[in-house]
Structure 1
Amino acid sequence: MKKVSTLLIVMGLSGGVCLLGSLLFLAAIYLDKASVMSLLGLAPR
């Protein structure tokens, strides 16, 4: 049982992190498109 609960906690944490990241990304795009574009251009492919 402990493995299952640990797996659920890890999945929940990773899901929350993914949601937070995407929300921050969308907010950055809406707030300042120019800086996001420059960041994407500077970021290594």
Structure 2
Amino acid sequence: MDLLMMLEDRFDISIPINILLDVRTPAQLLESLIPYLENINEPV
């Protein structure tokens, strides 16, 4: 949870908890965040 808060503060984003249910590794975190970030911005 601390990592999530740090990422949200560092990159000025809000990460919904529901996209992180199956995340266990940094690579899985990236895979989960890219589609979410593309929806709120432009393609990453």
| TM-score for both structures, normalised by structure 1 | 0.34
Name which structure has the greater RCO, CA cutoff 8 Å, separation 6+. Answer: 2
**Higher helix residue share:** 1
* TM-score for both structures, normalised by structure 2: 0.34
